[in-house]
Structure 1
């Protein structure tokens, strides 16, 4: 199932920095029918299964030259010389660029205009940027044609003319350009609809590109796709998108997409072993999760039904996201938590406007061993810390934080900011 459930996400752009994957995504609004996209989100993980939500790190408002309120399409983010560059297509208005000193921003527009805009058509979408071993950076993009241009050292200006590549078999959109063990790869969303994930290979960063087949074949189980591919901690991963979270609610179509990921493998000649559909793939945890620190509540492997936001409907604005819309029976799953020789205390920071509820700390399943219970009473809008003792929490387990209401309140129980074990 998709790795993010608290928001609708699409167009994954993963970037590895140190021991962390920075996953940038687009954002489909909860009421979207067609594409309704206004900002770009960031999630991070050190183990590929537990993801922390950092909220929106950039939006259309960061481009002062664009006056619309829709069109925040598939972005790409790269790092160079301590700066983080986000390349953002705004449908019908070219591709802009934002820059920040850290991966979560704040991002600002250094140009005040698009970096690339071919005004004669609306094909300038889905940028992918890669810096080669010799320091030369390239940006590819385009639907239905594939374009390429060289970027200068400053990453916010171009060199030479735009190159239109010869058509790659089954290419539609969403290119993802990277290099691995001397081979250049161009993954892409293959011909709509439904889209699969195809790829081509080359010995040169500017082609010619030779079509090699599918990373994931066309399937009626999804409609669109958009690849992002990384190597992380000795394994290779393909990110894409589907409608599986929406399918938990309805069988009708709406543009409310969700990002998924799967482990992928290469053959000795560099070609890629085709994957089945995401639900049939494996996504193993890399390492374990440390609970003996302040853990933002919006860090989870699964949290369907919950929402994350900075906008507190029952209190002040938060500097960081928090979990809200908490109903009786919903839960946060954190996989592979290492309690070591034993955790003896659990503390949660929560805010309840009305009657509140409680958090059951359970091991290995929603109905698993009960290690402890935190009661969250009315806090009059203010965040307070609540603590309980724990029993039986030792070794490595999946952690379930199960939310319970009382007789007087079953929905919107409280807001949940962070937790920690001792």
Structure 2
């Protein structure tokens, strides 16, 4: 078996088939959708990996989960550049997402930074796309009132609060002398259409040692603005301030546009937990009455032996005390506990996984290929590749058969294991596809009825075939 880039049993990072930075979560119909900056390796003329300077990023990676450990890969939104929806833009950094019913129909919105010089907005009828640009220009630019002098006009966050919605953005330190109070955070009311501004942006006052990374949540009736502190926080003042360099810090207000009162640090720089740090970027979200923190770290590239600043997303639990304050969050590789179980009797996309090694995902279908996101298939299979799924509940009656949707030009085998990817397989399927273009169903009886709750592992032999979905019967 090929070596995974995360330990079996761990939930972090949430995705290892590619990078995903600056995570933003949207909960819709009992699923969490994560949108992430599409970090991608930059190479020099000799083929060596260069330090990540974010210049080649024009995609937004999308995954979703109903249990926070098994994530379905929905691909990469072509957000900016000539191929992207916002073809006028050059980069797509730090996405934010929201949904809202408009004219009787649910619409989905992606906000992202065009480098450090403005905010774009895309819209879709689905949380996974296709996303298009409804205004064909920046939503926020340096021509927007009050924004010309914002050092970094980026890192949006969005809050839908009843009938109103708000956009938060900005960051950067204009000069060393202004490090303690840069004055570069902004908030603006969004129009009812979510693709326009309703009034001029306002400065969020007295954001102590602001660096970047807007966050916004409504918790227990209070508006919690959060951000990453800059790297000029004096060491001797960390106790007085309640935070240090590169830490996620909170502020609180009674109204969505402030005024905000300074709070404390809640998530230290990832270096404190994983030994490698850098910029710190986060979002908080509530799912099944529990709050969570999504943030990025460099543990995926650490396992790859790269250490060039390429980021991946983690999720850990948030604890809110009785007085409403958020207790310091611990970054872990173990991650969060599974919320519920996965149903193996429902057809699951093969791109749904908790852990894997030696596979890739690719867009499937006309829209996904054109726009980058949507349905995905598992490809790049070779002997020793595998996929793991956590916590599938087979119930008391149990499963007796497994089915796969397969296509390809060569033959191989899929070995199905329960709990650990070795020992005696419960099924062995001949991955003999009838077509290179169309997916067909192959099935196999299980060696014994499977009951109860188990982790599932698919271990592959051979190559030249691809998977679309699977289900137990």
Q: Same fold (TM over 0.5)?
A: yes
Aligned partners of 1:146 and 1:167 also within 8 Å: no
- Give the distance between the partners of 1:283 and 1:389, measured in 2 at CA: 34
Corresponding position: 1:297 with 2:321: no
2:60 corresponds to? 40
Q: CA deviation at 1:167?
A: 3.6
Q: CA deviation at 1:58?
A: 4.3
2:175 corresponds to? none
Q: CA deviation at 1:129?
A: 1.0
Q: CA deviation at 1:395?
A: 0.9
Name the CA shift for 1:18/1:402 in 2 (closer, same or farther; >3 Å): same
2:5 corresponds to? none
Aligned partners of 2:120 and 2:137 also within 8 Å: yes
* SS of the residue 1:75 aligns to: strand
* Correspondence for 1:191 among 230, 240, 261: 230
Corresponding position: 1:25 with 2:36: yes
Corresponding position: 1:348 with 2:404: yes
Q: CA deviation at 1:265?
A: 0.9
Name the CA shift for 1:192/1:322 in 2 (closer, same or farther; >3 Å): farther
* Correspondence for 2:154 among 122, 125, 129: 125
- Give the distance between the partners of 2:440 and 2:247, measured in 1 at CA: 48
Aligned partners of 2:360 and 2:380 also within 8 Å: yes
Q: CA deviation at 1:357?
A: 2.2
1:148 corresponds to? 187
TM-score when normalising by structure 2: 0.80
* SS of the residue 1:247 aligns to: helix
How do residues 156-171 of structure 1 correspond to structure 2 at under 5 angstroms?
A: 156-171=195-210
* SS of the residue 2:207 aligns to: coil
How do residues 291-370 of structure 1 correspond to structure 2 at under 5 angstroms?
A: 291-310=344-363, 320-340=375-395, 341-354=397-410, 356-370=411-425
- Give the distance between the partners of 1:403 and 1:108, measured in 2 at CA: 37
Corresponding position: 1:72 with 2:127: no
Corresponding position: 1:12 with 2:23: yes
CA RMSD of aligned residues (A): 2.3
Aligned partners of 1:8 and 1:30 also within 8 Å: no
Once the two structures are superposed, residues 152-205 of structure 1 have per-residue CA deviations (whole angstroms, 9 ceiling, x without a partner) of 212122122221222422431111111011111112223259733222222221
* SS of the residue 1:215 aligns to: strand
TM-score when normalising by structure 1: 0.89
1:62 corresponds to? 85
Q: CA deviation at 1:378?
A: 6.3
2:327 corresponds to? 273
Name the CA shift for 1:368/1:235 in 2 (closer, same or farther; >3 Å): farther
5+ unaligned residues in a row in structure 1: which ranges? Answer: 406-411
Aligned partners of 2:170 and 2:212 also within 8 Å: yes
Corresponding position: 1:232 with 2:292: no
Name the CA shift for 1:369/1:188 in 2 (closer, same or farther; >3 Å): farther
* Correspondence for 2:262 among 211, 217, 238: 211
